[in-house]
Structure 1
Amino acid sequence: MARGKQIYEGKAKILYEGPEPGTLIQFFKDDATAFNAQKHAVLEGKGVLNNRISEFIMIGLERIGIPTHFIKRINMREQLIRHVEIIPLEVVVRNVAAGSLSKRLGIKEGEQLPRSVVEFYFKDDKLGDPMVSEDHITAWGWASPQEIDDMMAYALRVNDYLSGLFAAAGIRLVDFKLEFGRQYENDMVRLILADEISPDSCRLWDLGSGEIMDKDRFRKDLGDVVEGYREVARRLGILRGDDAPSGEPGPKLVSDNGKAPS
């Protein structure tokens, strides 16, 4: 499938014009960044793993009625997605105290929260993606009250689905980040889930040992980052065989029909 011209490059992905109007091709890079890109590395095979993990999760979410931008995986690093107008907010769902929540509220990392908490952050790297309230969102017109309600409802449904999915694989879902976009169809506008869901955007801990299996391995210099992502993919049933995505010894990515992907 031929790419069109590049229209955007972020820290972990590149977007190209798609083959049909209203579509894009999303390319997953191997770049890893932290602390607003102050820390950067290229981790061979990370983009391949994130592509497949996000594909697996997006398909599952579509099956339970959550609309997403995902159309299909094209190859090991690319997806065909719907073109949406991204809402400039990160929607974070927290189940366990970690990261900035622990620092802000003085709660020990690893403490289970009384209930799942939904937070909004304004997407602006120069400002450090500050946390914002619903009043901020509506005052500046980033989203309507109805869109806020819909994002919160979808976020909690995604949380229920992911919590069960990961728990069945022996993984504790600590928290995760979502992004949403508006899809325009004639005179209709609908809110759909966009971006990706992967170890780049989730905190994932082993249920037994508490071992970190996500991007915090990179943030905190905890060892082989890609191996943590591979372990997530193994447990979700996405990997088998003897060849890692990077070509080094390790598991092999497989397609839904059990054959090696293109």
Structure 2
Amino acid sequence: MADTVRILIELLGELVDDWCDVGWVYGIAIDAGLGGASARDAGMAAIETGLSKGLMVAGDVTDQGLTPWPEQGAAAVARIRAAWWALGTEVPHWDLVAWFDITDDGTAYVEQHRSRAELSMTGGDPRSSVTDVRALLWAGIEGESPLWEAAWELRSLHPEGPDSALRDRARQILEELLRRRHAELYRQDGLNGPSVLLPAAEAGRVLHDDRWWEPAAWDDEFIVFEATEAGRRFYDTEPGERARRR
């Protein structure tokens, strides 16, 4: 169930910007750590939920754009499942099975989810939920940023904040970004040295080790954070705005 919800939320976020096909849904499931039949099953469950709740519609893309099928809901789900399962283990090509577009209810769902996500990343403080999260995400999008720079980013937004409070807030936001796979931590061996991705369990421990939050010399070992593709999409998706390629 958790995989289904995560895939659906990411799919709807993509649909805010453009249409997606079944192959794209399968790719989201693969990115979520699933594989093979498990990815197909979870992707199909997300599609079924989105269509049954009226959050999106299924259709075909032609030179005139996306044309929704006459049948939606359960009928569309059955049609998609039959076509997808007929492919066996083959990854759905972009012109096979179905395309999807978001509905007004789907857009509202995305906006509500984004608001809850941003609040959870800052402990429910609505005054700084958006700006703080976006500031750290942007730092991770620009490139690999040392942990101590996360607190510096928040210092620019909250110049009167105590150092300990800013560090705790940055730690809290990064924890949630890691949990949502919007960011990753790397162990960097000097400024020009190799970087190694930290497993989730180790990343969680590192965030709570204060020594990595202290500025280090550029030839020392330090920990950096970087936004993932999912984090970039989360940052770029503005609620209520749709930049369509028609």
Q: For the superposition of Structure 1 and Structure 2, which TM-score range results when normalised by the shorter chain?
A: under 0.3
More helix by share: 2
TM-score by length of 1: 0.23
TM-score by length of 2: 0.24
Larger C-alpha radius of gyration, 1 or 2?
Answer: 2
Indicate the structure whose relative CO is greater, using CA pairs within 8 Å and at least 6 residues apart.
Answer: 2
